[in-house]
Amino acid sequence: MALEQQARYTILAEVNDDDRARQEFVTSLKRVIQARLTPGVRTVWEQRGAPAFRAAHQRDPVTREEVRSAFGDDHYVRMSSALRRVSQERLWDGIAELVDRQLPQLVEHVRAATHAGSAGGELALDPGFEVPEYLSALDVHCMPTGYHRESVDDDVAAGAIYDRGAYVYSMGQLGPLMDDFGQSMIKHFLDVDHRQLRPRRVLDLGCTIGCSTLPYVDRYPDAEVFAIDAGAPVLRYAHARAHELGRRVFFSQQNAEHTSFPDGHFDLIVSHILLHETSHTALANIFAECYRLLAPGGLMAHCEVPQFAGLDPFTQFLADWDTHNNNEPFWGAMHDFDLELLAEDCGFDRDQVATVSIPTGRRLQLGTKTTTLSVIAARR
């Protein structure tokens, strides 16, 4: 089974039979929701929601908000949404429980891995760091502790929860090392459209535990690879994980809106599913900071779930579930943005900005069964 194929290393939380049973139940429930309940929402729309809306307005809906209002208190839609939320909560709660009972040992494992040598690069934490409100105000996608909360010295709970939790959430479809996004960016974008790029320094924004960071170490062995995040627990875990996997990365606790790196320091700046976890203001700041940090000829490339433009209102409604139900309030707003125009507003020349669709190994569950990612890219 896919849940048994995750790569093993010392700092990964151990899963016993009870844990495994809970995780397999959650994945089975998710499959039922995806295969049967979500398609049923479309049937309900076609049979009840759309006819009711047309009768009331003498037209079809033009926005996802109108679709949402047309459903009202429809029992099937509410039931399927509630089960989807319950599956998310049960997943994270079960992972948090197994990490909590192993936390002292995990902290020691991470300390040992961190102090074992320099293969994992460096780790720089900021005791006075202020976590952005868009992260501190809630537990993003319902993950307990968020990315940053700490309860013990040298806490790594958030990193350990994310490592196993994200693997179960994706049902193993991101690969044994959960590095599919980074691998897809390299294989289907950088090695296709920018195969001549030879970066001296690479920066990964919002790296979490470094899953998408490590492929850049392999692809660009002569480059220094840097990775930043707002959460100290995930960075401690990322540093130890990189060391155990034999990859050299320079991790630091920083806000992607305003970093400490000098102007023109990087030839390649990337992110992977980061933008929707920020805010209107932060998104513009991040693009402007990328422009500042890139050397002449450098490349910015942000990988995200495709924008909503071109989707019909009902499909947008399905894709927007996370905004209202999964503690990701900026999800819908970000997917409405004209990211190319934003890049231009932040200093990039319009003819150096492009959006590219790339395949991914994961079936992204948005009610659309999409298997693609969108890359917003710009040259300095």
Please name each of the domains of the chain with its CATH number: 1-380 (3.40.50.150)
Q: What percent of the chain has pLDDT over 90?
A: 89
For helices 75-115 and 157-169, what crossing angle results, to 10°?
A: 130
pLDDT digits (tens, 9 = 90+) for 25-54: 999 999 999 899 999 999 999 999 999 999
Identify the pLDDT of residue 72: 85
Instruction: Count CA atoms within 13 Å of residue 6 on its CB side.
Output: 22
pLDDT tens-digit readout, 276-292: 999 999 999 999 999 99
**Predicted confidence (pLDDT) at residue 376 exceeds the cutoff of 90:** yes
Q: What is the pLDDT of the chain when averaged over all its residues?
A: 93
Asked whether the predicted pLDDT for residue 370 surpasses 60, the reply is no
In a 13 Å sphere around the CA of 348, the CA atoms on its Cβ side amount to 31
Token pair for residue 74? Answer: 């429809």
**pTM for the structure as a whole:** 0.94
| pLDDT tens-digit series, residues 325-364 | 999 999 999 999 999 999 999 999 999 999 999 998 665 5
Residue pair 322/141 in contact (Cβ under 8 Å)? The answer is yes
